[in-house]
Structures are given as C-alpha cells and as structure tokens.
C-alpha cells in the first residue's frame, strides 16, 4: 500500500481500541521474569559455550604481538579469535567502527580478541592470560584542542544539511537592535541502558542465527552479513525483547560479531555479553559538542537573525552530531544560518543517542532563548510565542502539517502556575533553598519509513501479527496489537503479536522516533488486505463491509469473523510505503517543558522539585505507554542537565568513568513528581494512523529548562553541562 495523499476517514478513527490506555500485553512476561532476552536462550542452544571480549589497552596505535599460549592452555578454553585468524572482516553500513580490531587500534577498548570457554569464569580467567603488546602512537582526544581543524562534513542520510543560509544572517545580526552571541558546551554521554549488549550465536553449516539485542533487525542482517562476508539470506536475527537501547543498539556491534566468530571457531553455540566497564569505550555514545549561538532581535522581541554553529568529533568515517537541527525549524526569523563541523577524534564512535542532534542542540538553543528574553526584558514564554511560525522557517513555502507549539506553551504555563515565577533571580526562597522556575520549547522531527507486516486469521477468530519490529521497552507489542484489533473489529485479547525475528516481514525497526507510527502503519496495510479477503470469502463488497465485535457486517447480514477461516487460515501481507507528502509538509512534533528547582544557598546542591511536559505528537496510540515514554525521557533529561558526563583522559584517550559507579545517572531519589499532558492532535499527512512518535520529544528541551530554572534560582548562568554545584559555588552572589 502506498500512502501518497492525506488520510481520510478510516477504521482507525473509530478509536475503540486505538487511543485507549491499555496495559502492555507483554507486561506479565516482564514482571514474572519469563520474557526472554538475548542472553537467556539456553534451552535452544544446548551445549553452549561462553565468550568474553578483550578490549584494547591503548587509545591509539598498533598491536605488535599476541601471545596466546597461557590463555589457550587454560582450563576450559575452546577457541581464541583475533584478527590473525578471524578471516577477512568488513565494516557494517551504519557504524564506522571496526568491530574486531587489529593490527591497528582506533580507540581504547576496541575489541581485539574473543575467548571462548566452557564457562564464563573460565573465559574471563583466560582473557587475563592473553599477552598483547602494543605500540602507542599520539592520538587526538580533545575536541577543544582540534576544533580549528574541523571541517564541514558531507551531507548524509541522517541529520540536517551541514551548512545552510537564508537571507543575510551576518548583515542582519550586525545591525540588530539587541544581540546575543554565546558559546555552550555539552559533554560526551553514554546510553547506559539497563541490559548490556549481548548475543547468543549458533551456526548450522553456513547459516547463522543470532539471538541479540538490537533495535533495527533489517539493518542488523545487512550489517552482520557485510562484516562476516556472507549472504544476507544466511543470517537470521531474533530480538524478542530489548532491555533499553536509546539508539545505542541500532544495529550490529562487537558483541554480535564476537559471538558469531567465537561460535564458528568453537563449533558450538556461544553466548556473550559485554561487561559493563567495556561498554562505555567499546560501543557508541553521544559525542560532545561546542556550540555557538547568535540571535539578533528588534526591541519588540521579533527575531531578525538566528545562527547556530556546532563542532563535534568522531572517529574517521563517523557522523557529526547534528545539533543545529532544531534551530532550523523551531522559531521564525528571516535571516538564518546553520553550520556543522566535524573533527577527527580517536575516542569510541559517536553515534545516535535518543533524539540525536535535537537533544544536544536544544541544550544550547533554549538557554540562548532565555538569555535573549532577559536582554529584551520579555517573559521567556511570551518571547517564544512571539516568534512562533506556521511555516517552515528554513523553507517558508512549506507549511507545517500540524504545529501547536503555542498551545503547548500556553497550557503548560497555566498548569505549572508560571505566573509565580519572578524575573529577578533569587527572588523566591524557602528557608535555605532558592527556588527557580524554567521553561524550554521542544521540537523533534517526525520521520516515517516503510514497514511491512503479516496477519493471519484462524477459525477461532484469533488474529496473529508477525513483523520484525522490535520492542525496546516502548510498548510496540501493545500498539501493534491495538492496531490489528481496531482494524479487524476484535478485542485486544483476540490478537497475538509476534515481533523481533528477521524471518518476519521487514519493519521500520525502533529508532529515530519513527517506530510507532511506521510499524503500526505496516500492520494497517496488512489488515486492509486481510479485511478484503474476509469480505470476499463471504461474498461481501469490501468497500461496504464493517468489522466490529468479532463479527463481519454487510447490509442485513452479520457473520462471525472466524467463520471466514473455517476451511483454513487466511493470510495477508503488505507494506506501507510513502509518496511526497513529507516534502510538501514540514512534519514535526512539538512540546514545552516546565521545571522547578531548589538550590541550597550554602552548598549549591540542586534538587529538581516539579516537572511538566506538554506534548503534541499526532494521534496518541496508547496514552499510558506514551506517558511512560515521556516520563522516561524527562528523567534522562535530568541526567543530561545535572550529572551525565563521560570524562576524557586527554593524555591516554579513554573515558575514565566507564561504569555505573563513576558515570552518574538519575535514581528515584533524584526524580520528583512528573506530569505529562498529551494534546489532542491528528496528522493526516503522516499515514492512515495519523500518528507521530513521542519517545524523543519528551527529552529535547528538558536539560535547558533545568538550566534556566537554576539561573532563575541563583542568578548564575551555566553554559557548560552538566550543571554541577562546583560551577555555582564560586559565582553565586545571593545574600544568604
């Protein structure tokens, strides 16, 4: 099915199942511990062995020698794989990193060997006996130091154009009545998902099956086949449940490659998980940025010039962090400029992490907007509203498909009691605590991509859905089940959902905030075909047939849905593809974040006290799981604002705090009451579902709202994340 014109009325609009806050249908499996994750498929892999990955001990250089004698003769060791015996290996199509290194080393903890043994303990013990000698060479580990060598990258498949200009930015900025020119920095950050990267690999002749933890199975099949040099048809990936990804499990990384190579060398199934201290330097992360933002405005608050430049670093061949993306679309302004620059760094690869580009870009842009509002002596909410636009500011001939940013800001301000905020910092005190309130807008693109599904009807009236879509904790099982139930006129209990197997039809996968809207649209397309087959089986006109309450209705006739499959199950398979609507309309999601913080006037300890997110993201398929996505994203935003920081050893080239003891993330005690408002919205330009994604929208802007609240409490403007108390202690001037 091709979607090439705005959707009209269709069965999804009945909203009998879609739009209801149903519990997750896989919830009982997770709460009882019976949901199987990648590392847990022991019963399907009898006689399995254990793999253990060894990471490079230098940040840049070359392997001189690998002495395997002691390790190879250690108890239980079955195989040792290094670049010397792995055979020719290529890179995948998405990540730039080599997933088994040697002899050249590109970054610290890059995988250099995998040990396979009878037990995990034996594999780990043998890994310590592997003697590797290196020659270290000078590497590049400091973004600030190499900033001037950064170049404008080539345009790629993901992210905004590297360099854009509309009007005369430099001229308009130079003549603006009120100007802001500030630099902001964001640090390297880790996905730090709950489930480590893990894989279970088994060969059957030249056929490879991997139980793994990746978000995009279609990419995974492509990339693993490419790395190993085998046909795609020989690769099957299964990823039924994923314990968090946030973009860090987009496709194949070293865990899957190591397990596959180890299983081939040992002649047995191999299970492997990356140890937590290895993950931070071995896998991907959100790269640090240096961002310069310039805004010029008239005295009435109208933005006349807005420019955003961002510098980031990556390994050779890696992508830039597209931090300028939100500035291109969020606010009006006739004269505009954006510029991305990329430097080579010899650290672990920087790549997609929840809301790549927008998350880091909004950390800067939304502080700048507050600073500009203060210069203009305009309320920060009103300044944002004053510069709203209903056309894409980067392409004024293109309208937004739907845009309710003003409503997000207005409704949020009323709900949060924004009028309590005082413009003069430090004006509100409660004992030893300084109280501040902050706001930030939110924008995240709403991409959608082709996705396929297979549906089956049996004589009991049960609907089975199969698609290789993954569930990374987002609720994919449930919204896909709700879609099939709505389309076929049955209760959710009559739907069985099977996900995460590359043998199923190829879906959109989970990532980029496209998964929910795309995968359900593929199910919609398959169900349209199944509805046609059912109608014809009864001699009904498909255009005049209705499905409800487990029955099929046409004119005066009504028959049980399952009767269509009395003589055999009915199958239908289709995919949803798209025309040019995404070029005709700017398709985005919008929101507003409001935060209240308390800062101890003596110790500068920061406590987040209240949080509110108002989100506009098309039709909400399941309000309960959508709210959960936003609450989780808001929590991640607290971490980005106040604590998350991968500290670089700039002499040796590695992230020092590479475990969850040193890399701080929010815990329950850090998180206050969080409220989420989901605006009513449908977007017929997206798909027949009229839905968009929401999981990344809930993050963008949160950190800046916290930064703005800290400033409102203390009068200290921190432009260097994370906002830690040491950055307040020396500059706070509140008279205690």
Average pLDDT of the chain to the nearest whole number? 97
Annotated catalytic residues are: 696
Per-residue pLDDT reduced to its tens digit, 173-205: 999 999 999 999 999 999 999 999 999 999 999
CATH class belonging to 38-138+192-282: alpha beta
Per-residue pLDDT reduced to its tens digit, 80-106: 999 999 999 999 999 999 999 999 999
- Confidence (pLDDT) at 158: 86
Closest to 659 (Cα-Cα) out of 641, 668, 673, 646: 646
The domain ranges of the chain are 2-34+448-579, 38-138+192-282, 357-446+587-729
Residue 731 has pLDDT above 90, yes or no: no
Rounded distance, CA 594 to CA 637, Å? 12
- CATH code for the part of the protein at 357-446+587-729: 3.30.365.10
What's the mean pLDDT in 269-276?
98
Task: Return the HEC string of 256-304.
Answer: HHHHHHHHHHHCCCEEEECCHHHHHHHCCEECCEEEEEEEEECCCCCEE
Closest to 409 (Cα-Cα) out of 591, 653, 550, 541: 591
Rounded distance, CA 27 to CA 578, Å? 33
Residue 694 has pLDDT above 50, yes or no: yes
Instruction: Please tell me whether the overall predicted TM-score, pTM, comes out greater than 0.75 for this model.
Output: yes
Contact between residue 453 and residue 574 where contact means Cβ atoms under 8 Å apart: yes
- Confidence (pLDDT) at 733: 67
Whether 357-446+587-729 and 2-34+448-579 are alike in CATH topology: the answer is yes
Per-residue pLDDT reduced to its tens digit, 361-391: 999 999 999 999 999 999 999 999 999 999 9
- CATH code for the part of the protein at 2-34+448-579: 3.30.365.10
Contact between residue 186 and residue 293 where contact means Cβ atoms under 8 Å apart: no
What's the mean pLDDT in 276-293?
98
- Confidence (pLDDT) at 416: 98
Per-residue pLDDT reduced to its tens digit, 533-562: 999 999 999 999 999 999 999 999 999 999
- Strand partners for 705: none
Residue 53 has pLDDT above 90, yes or no: yes
Share of the chain residues as helix, strand and coil, in percent rounded to the nearest 5: 30, 25, 45
Q: What are the distances in angstroms from CA 306 to CA 64, 290, 300, 363, 622?
A: 52, 17, 16, 16, 37
């Amino acid at each position: 099915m091709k979607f090439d014109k705005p959707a009209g009325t269709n069965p999804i609009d009945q909203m009998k199942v879609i739009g209801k806050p149903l519990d997750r249908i896989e919830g009982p499996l997770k709460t009882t511990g019976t949901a199987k994750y990648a590392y847990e498929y022991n019963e399907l892999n009898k006689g399995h062995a254990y793999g253990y990955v060894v990471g490079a001990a230098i940040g840049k250089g070359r392997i001189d020698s690998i002495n395997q004698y002691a390790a190879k003769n250690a108890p239980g060791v079955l195989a040792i794989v290094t670049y010397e015996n792995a055979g020719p290996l290529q890179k995948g199509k998405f990540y730039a990193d080599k997933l088994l290194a040697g002899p050249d080393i590109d970054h610290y903890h890059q995988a250099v060997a995998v040990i396979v043994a009878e037990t995990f303990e034996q594999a780990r013990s043998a890994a310590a006996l592997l003697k590797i000698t290196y020659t270290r060479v000078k590497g590049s580990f400091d973004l600030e130091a190499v900033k001037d060598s950064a170049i404008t990258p080539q345009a790629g498949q993901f992210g905004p154009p590297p360099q854009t200009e509309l009007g005369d930015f430099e001229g308009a900025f130079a003549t603006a009545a009120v100007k802001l020119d500030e630099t902001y920095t964001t640090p390297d950050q880790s996905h730090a998902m709950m489930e480590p990267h893990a894989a279970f690999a088994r060969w059957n002749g030249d056929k490879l099956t991997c139980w793994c933890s990746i978000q995009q199975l279609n990419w995974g099949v492509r990339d693993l086949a490419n790395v190993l040099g085998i046909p795609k048809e020989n690769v099957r990936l299964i990823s039924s449940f994923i314990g968090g990804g946030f973009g860090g499990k987009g496709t194949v990384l070293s865990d899957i490659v190591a397990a596959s190579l180890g299983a081939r060398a040992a002649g047995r199934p191999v299970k492997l998980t990356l140890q937590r201290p290895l993950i931070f330097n071995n896998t991907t992360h959100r790269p640090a940025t240096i961002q310069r933002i310039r805004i010029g405005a008239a005295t009435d608050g109208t933005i006349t010039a807005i420019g955003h430049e961002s510098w980031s670093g990556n390994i050779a061949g890696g992508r830039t962090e597209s931090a300028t993306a939100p500035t291109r679309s969020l606010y009006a302004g006739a004269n505009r400029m954006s510029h991305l620059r990329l430097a080579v760094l010899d650290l672990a690869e920087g790549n997609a992490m929840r809301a790549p580009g927008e998350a880091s870009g909004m950390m800067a842009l939304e502080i700048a907007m507050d600073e500009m509002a203060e210069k203009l002596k305009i309320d920060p909410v009103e300044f944002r509203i004053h510069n709203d636009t209903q056309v894409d500011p980067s392409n004024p001939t293109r309208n937004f498909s739907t845009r309710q940013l003003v409503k997000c800001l207005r409704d949020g301000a009323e709900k949060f009691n924004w009028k309590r905020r005082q413009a003069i910092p430090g004006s509100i005190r409660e004992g030893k605590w300084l109280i501040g309130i902050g706001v930030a807008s939110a924008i995240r693109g709403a991409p959608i991509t082709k996705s396929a599904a297979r549906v089956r009807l049996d004589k009991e009236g049960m609907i089975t859905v199969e698609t290789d879509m993954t569930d990374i904790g987002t609720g994919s099982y449930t919204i896909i089940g709700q879609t099939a139930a709505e389309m076929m006129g049955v209760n959710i209990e009559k739907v069985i959902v099977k996900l995460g197997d590359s043998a199923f039809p190829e879906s959109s996968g989970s990532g980029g905030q496209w998964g929910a809207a795309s995968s359900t649209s593929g199910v919609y397309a398959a169900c349209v075909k199944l509805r046609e087959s059912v109608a014809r089986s009864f001699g009904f006109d498909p255009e005049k047939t209705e499905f409800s309450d487990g029955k099929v209705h046409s004119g005066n006739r009504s028959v049980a849905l399952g009767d269509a499959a009395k003589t055999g199950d009915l199958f239908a398979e289709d995919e949803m593809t798209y025309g040019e609507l995404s070029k005709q309309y700017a398709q985005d999601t919008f929101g507003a974040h409001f935060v209240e913080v308390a800062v101890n006037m003596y110790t500068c300890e920061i406590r987040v006290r209240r949080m509110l997110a108002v989100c506009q993201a098309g039709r909400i398929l399941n309000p309960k799981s959508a709210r959960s996505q936003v609450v989780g994203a808001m929590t991640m935003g607290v971490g980005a604002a106040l604590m998350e920081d991968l500290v670089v050893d700039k002499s040796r080239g590695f992230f020092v705090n590479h475990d969850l003891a040193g890399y701080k993330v929010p815990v329950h005690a850090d998180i206050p009451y969080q409220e989420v408002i989901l605006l009513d919205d449908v977007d017929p330009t997206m798909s027949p579902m009229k839905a968009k994604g929401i999981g990344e929208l809930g993050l963008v802007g949160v950190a800046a709202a916290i930064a703005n609240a800290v400033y409102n409490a203390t009068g200290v403007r921190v432009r260097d994340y994370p906002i830690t108390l040491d950055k307040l202690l020396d500059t706070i001037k509140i008279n205690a």
